Amino acid sequence: MFKKSFKIIATLLCALSIIPFATGFATEKPTVTVTTTFLADMVHELAGDAVNIETLMPAGSDPHLYQPKAQDVQKISKADLVLYHGLHFEGKMVEILEKYGQAVTKDFDKDSINQMEEDNTSVVDPHFWFDVNLYKQATQTASDVLQEKYPDLKDQIAKNTTAYLAKLDELDEWIKKELGTLSEDQHYLVTPHDAFNYFARSYSFTVYAPQGVSTNSEVSNQQIGETVDFIIEHKIPAIFVESTTNPERMKKLQEAVKAKGGNVAVVNGEDEALFSDSLAPAGQNGDTYISMYQHNINVIVKYLSQAQ
């Protein structure tokens, strides 16, 4: 009897001693769960390979409309750390993200957040990343959260943050220089959905998007008519497709311009669609925030410089 109990206890002790070892080994590298490709890139810049990164929305998907799958909900509720954009960008996941995650926009000054009209109500414009200074602020917030969560990585993350923020300053300077080659009457950007207002504010552009701020809304004939007039009035040479929205909409707009006697090119194609709400898939041009912005600027300058 005694012998049998001893054996059981010994077995249990043995098992218990293995479990912490096994768990400690498996969690050695923490996993940061993020909603979008932007944040995957940001965390990779800040923490390098010291963390695993789990991205919920694949490249090319539309975060405004993305419906969380059962496995996403499970990942979020069990994650070590969840980072998300906020400003209602992840429109169908707001509740669960507010419960379990930290928004990289949480420290934004209210005055720095763009407000937009949608269906006669004022809504928050989530596309802050096209303001490089706000993107820097979001990066700093993500860095602070990571350093607090993983004190062992503090020095490494702090060092990476300083280097990355300097690269973002260089990017901002480069954008100003490139856009400086356009004249003032070439500063008109027409895209399917209204993702470029922070860009417009930062670099003195006028933007126009028939679809409004969210890809969810329908485009009315009146909105199309207004956009057509805008294109003809300003002699805009080209309108742009986005990688995350249906290109057919811009073709319809082009036809409507032609019907009114105007002429406008639709910039499309795998290599020339603008990135708005997602980075490119890994391994392709535009798969980092910096290369995404460089791609957009190169395409914009190439086509808008043709304006008369």
Q: What is the identity of the amino acid at 109?
A: D
What are the two backbone dihedrals, phi and then psi, of residue 85, each rounded to the nearest 5 degrees? -70, -55
Shortest gap between Cβ of 212 and Zn ion (angstroms)? Answer: 10
Distance CA 23, CA 26 (A): 5
Instruction: Give the per-residue contact string, 268-287, with Zn ion (x = CB under 5 A; - = no).
Output: ---------x----------
Quick one: 143 or 278, whose CB is closer to Zn ion? 278
* Closest distance of CB 30 from Zn ion, Å: 30
User: What sign does the dihedral 194-197-203-208 (CA atoms) show?
Assistant: positive
Cβ proximity to Zn ion: between 130 and 188 the closer is 130
Contact 84, 97 (CB under 8 A): yes
The least distance separating Zn ion from the CB of residue 277, rounded to whole angstroms, comes to 4
**Which of the ranges 39-47, 91-99, 100-108, 195-203 carries the binding residues for Zn ion, by CB under 5 A?**
195-203
**For residues 145 and 195, which CB has a smaller minimum distance to Zn ion in the complex?**
195
Selected range binding Zn ion among 44-52, 115-123, 137-145, 189-197, rule: CB under 5 A: 189-197
Instruction: Report the distance separating Cα 155 and Cα 19, nearest Å.
Output: 30
Q: Which amino acid is at 299?
A: V
C-alpha 260/C-alpha 268 separation (Å) is 22
Task: Single out the segment in contact with Zn ion by CB under 5 A; choices: 24-32, 148-156, 188-196, 202-210.
Answer: 188-196
What gap in Å lies between CA 61 and CA 91, rounded to an integer? Answer: 13
87: contact with Zn ion by CB under 5 A: no
> Which listed range, 15-23, 37-45, 132-140, 193-201, lies at the site for Zn ion (CB under 5 A)?
193-201
When the beta carbons of 72 and 277 are compared against Zn ion, the nearer one is 277
- Stretch binding Zn ion (CB under 5 A), from 25-33, 149-157, 187-195, 281-289: 187-195
**What residues pair up with 55 in beta bridges, in sequence order?**
34
Sign of torsion over alpha carbons 196, 197, 202, 205:
positive
> To the nearest whole angstrom, how small is the minimum distance from the Cβ of residue 104 to Zn ion?
16
Residue 242 sits in the site that holds Zn ion (CB under 5 A): no
* 34: contact with Zn ion by CB under 5 A: no
Number of H helices, E strands in the chain: 10, 10
Among 175, 189, 195, 267, binds Zn ion (CB under 5 A): 195
Contacts with Zn ion by CB under 5 A: the residue count is: 2
- Tokens for 5? 């109990």
Task: Return the amino acid letter for 51.
Answer: V
Least Å from the CB of residue 245 to Zn ion: 8
Q: What is the DSSP letter of 27?
A: T
- The least CB distance from residue 17 to Zn ion, in Å, is 52
Measured CA angle at 66 (ends 61, 69), to 5 deg: 110
Contact 80, 32 (CB under 8 A): yes
User: Where on the chain is the footprint of Zn ion (CB under 5 A)?
Assistant: 195, 277
